[in-house]
Amino acid sequence: MVGMVMRGEADIGVAPFTITATRDEVVDFLTPFQEEGVGIIMKKPDPNANRMFKMFLPFQYSVWVAIVATMIFIGFLQYIVHRLSPYNMVRLRLVDALWMSFGAYVGQGGEYNPKFPSGRIILGIWWVFTIVVLALYTANLAAFLTITLAKTPIKNIAELSAQTEYKPLVKEGTNLISLFKNADSGTYAKIWSMMSDMPVVKTTDEAYDMVLSEPYAFMTDVSQLEYRALTDCQNVDIAEETFNKAGLSFLVRENAPFLEAFNAHMIRMLEAGLIAKYRSNWWPSNSACNEASYTTTANSLDLDSIAGLYFVYCGMIALSLVVLFIEIILRKYYYKIKEFLCRRRRVNSSSTLELTQENENSEKT
């Protein structure tokens, strides 16, 4: 359309053209009717994904790892303190110290509690830590199990460039192609490298279809994306932040005689509030999608919600059976192994004694 106006094939281009320096060199723009940023739309993730393991979602993976690492550290610390404290009268094994740390975390206590001050301080602080962690976990667990909360997969252009799940998608011939292609470094350059195998998309409808069928994040004027989200809020979601904000306007050929007249009419429309009125007709502030996004209701739990806990428990049972099998094998061959080691030790002792006697005889000779 820019080329058609530039060549004189059309007098005016009517579309939400982003005002750019490159376009301004070949055509003239009318007074901007709206400031617009580029938004990102993508398909919503399945809310039922990982449903069986929802009971672990209140904490992120890194938090679980940190809790386990802290538990092991407390066990080692208790073991060292028991070995070094002059007021400790009980010899504590490392296994017992680790088990005491685990028992304190799950609120079951242990077979032994330290009687000396340094050990009590460590265990007491660990008790307080576990109480706080348990309270945080319990508070979030109820929400995760009973309420389905929508979470935007990508919040801004930086997150899009830093992830691998969604591939960026833009329409062919838009100014976004030039924006990413001409970037030397930074976020835009990384986005361009991710677009190396991007399919050619010429219409917005094609892009929407690809977003719904494949893991693409489509970028265009945020107003278009907001309209799409209002009509299909169950399937798509928009990033919270926009980028590359600029004015939107119509365009005419350079030095067009009707430029000033058109500008005057555009200014009158803006002052009269017609642009805002038209927008409110097509982008209503109160819609079924907006109400649905803010309304959450608690759902009764089904078997899928706690099935992951059964899987974890079955895995622990399988592990215990493997350990039991190892214990039986070791117990069965314990005495044989012990007898073999004793015999080997006696043979080595005899060989050493004979070698010593031979050396003594050689020295006498």
| Structural tokens at position 43 | 């398909």
Same domain, 140 and 219: no
**Span 135-141, average pLDDT:** 81
Domain of 360? Answer: 320-365
* pLDDT more than 90, % of the chain: 8
CA dist 77 and 68 (Å) reads 14
Q: Is 18 annotated as a binding residue?
A: yes
Longest dimension (CA), the chain: 129
pLDDT at 169 over 60: yes
pLDDT band (50, 70, 90) for residue 294: very low
Q: Is 184 annotated as a binding residue?
A: no
- The reply to whether 262 falls in a domain is yes
Of 208, 203, 205, 183, residue with least CA distance to 194: 183
Q: Are 288 and 55 in contact (CB under 8 A)?
A: no
Per-residue CA distances from 39 to 115, 139, 222, 263, 284 (Å)? 62, 34, 4, 28, 18
Last residue of a domain, one of 80, 113, 146: 146
Same domain, 256 and 328: no
Lowest-confidence pick of 14-23, 39-48, 289-298, 311-320: 289-298
Q: What angle do CA 134, 138, 142 make, to 5 degrees?
A: 170
0.85 exceeded by pTM: no
The total number of residues written for the chain in this structure:
365
Same domain, 28 and 171: yes
- The reply to whether 248 falls in a domain is yes
Same domain, 288 and 213: yes
pLDDT band (50, 70, 90) for residue 12: very high
Q: Is 343 annotated as a binding residue?
A: no
Residues with Cβ within 8 Å of 251's Cβ and at least 6 positions away in sequence, in order, are 1, 2, 5, 12, 13, 17, 23, 27, 28, 29, 30
CA dist 264 and 18 (Å) reads 20
CATH number assigned to the domain comprising residue 30: 3.40.190.10
pLDDT band (50, 70, 90) for residue 145: low
Q: Is 242 annotated as a binding residue?
A: no
Last residue of a domain, one of 279, 294, 309: 294
**Span 9-35, average pLDDT:** 89
- Count up the domains in the chain and report the number: 3
**Span 136-143, average pLDDT:** 78
pLDDT at 53 over 90: no
**Span 19-35, average pLDDT:** 88
pLDDT band (50, 70, 90) for residue 252: very high
Average pLDDT score, the chain: 80
Lowest-confidence pick of 82-86, 200-204, 294-298: 294-298
pLDDT at 20 over 60: yes
User: pLDDT of 94-113, one tens digit each?
Assistant: 888 888 888 888 877 666 77
More confident residue, 229 or 365: 229
Same domain, 36 and 81: no
- The reply to whether 332 falls in a domain is yes
